[in-house]
Amino acid sequence: MTNRHAQQTPSNETATSDTPVRIVSAYLAVQAFGTLAWWVLLFAIPSSIDWFQPKVWPDGALLSFWMADFVLIIAGSLLAAICVWRRASSAATLVWVVAAVTWYPTLVCIATSLQTGEAWIASAMMVCMAGLSLAMATIHGNTSQSPATIRVASMSPAVATALTLGQTVIFWGTFLWVLPMGIVELQLRLGWQVFQHPLQSPLSGGLFLVASSLGLWSGITMAIRGDGTPLPTVTAPRLVIAGPYRYVRNPMALAGIVQGIAVGWFLGSLSVIAYALCGAVVWHVFVRPVEERDLQLRFGADYHRYQKHVRLWIPTVPFS
């Protein structure tokens, strides 16, 4: 059995190393051509500009950003995609440059939306691009790392907690604020009204606080007990079955879905509630199998025992 495993390892390692390269290069290519298609839409149908800029801006003011996007985002993403695919020595630097570049217009869009209360669709689009670009950069890693969708990183509990809290701010701001606001703005433009009922704000706010407490408890427990963060590319080297992980295997995912539902309830948007539920499906179908496969490989029988006694979504009696 040992020899057979040894013979399979090289091909498995090759497949494992190729997959992140394909993910990063494919995403960057999609980002380049998707941004190009968006600009074609703006120039071909000028009325579409109103969907992406505040009413107080002069007509067509958004078009003044075309050169920056064409040079920095479209050309930059395409060049980075080619270098990643060819495994060029400059690939890591280019991917991080593209990730950094996307955050400048993203912050401008968010600031504009905060100032005017409009253009949340544009802010949602940009925060998706910036977030995914940053995710691709972390997957590709730096010049001393190989691309990997999951990368173990051991660190002190203090550093892990600080990084976890920083990740939490970014994730909550993106998925529980900017994206829902963009969805609601799109919903209203399509003529779909929001709903209202008595005690809507306190009830939804209470649910959000409960779910947020669970999310924070889960993240801090992972940092302190696991010596790492919940982020896959900086994941904990130790199996964590303490705190909320004694009751449910993925408390952070459960907390995030409930938070999304609470936000949709607060905003009176069935679309945002559907967005949260779709997030649960996407996580369950695409993310969960990858994470569980990694945990099975790293922790073997310990994880199998944990998996057998603690359910995925529905809390159970404490595991010991």
DSSP state, residue 174? I
Q: Which two tokens stand for residue 19?
A: 């997959």
Based on the fold, state whether residues 211 and 311 are members of the same structural domain: yes
Asked if 310 contacts 247 with a C-beta cutoff of 8 angstroms, the reply is yes
- Categorize the per-residue pLDDT at 4 as very low, low, confident or very high, splitting at 50, 70 and 90: very low
Query: For the chain, how many structural domains are there in total?
Result: 2
- Residue 171 to residue 276: CA distance in whole angstroms: 14
Whether 269 maps to a domain, the answer reads yes
- Let me know if residue 222 belongs to a domain: yes
Render pLDDT for 255-295 as a digit per residue (tens, 0 to 9): 999 999 999 999 999 999 999 999 999 999 999 999 999 99
**pLDDT tens-digit series, residues 65-85:** 999 999 999 999 999 999 999
Residue 316: per-residue pLDDT: 85
Give percent of the chain above pLDDT 70.
94
Query: 270 is in which domain, residue-wise?
Result: 155-319
Residues 58 and 179 placed together within one structural domain of the fold: no
Same domain flag for 259 and 171: yes
What is the residue-wise DSSP string for 25-77? HHHHHHHHHHHHHHHHHHHH-GGGGGGTS-TTSPTTGGGGGHHHIIIIIIHHH
Residue 143: its pLDDT value, please? 87
Nearest residue to 164 (alpha-carbon basis) of 232, 230, 254, 242? 230
Residues 1, 138: Cα–Cα separation, whole Å: 35
pLDDT for 319 beyond 70: no
Helix (H) or strand (E) holding 226: helix 200-226
pTM, two decimal places? 0.89
Confidence label for 17 from pLDDT (cuts 50, 70 and 90): low
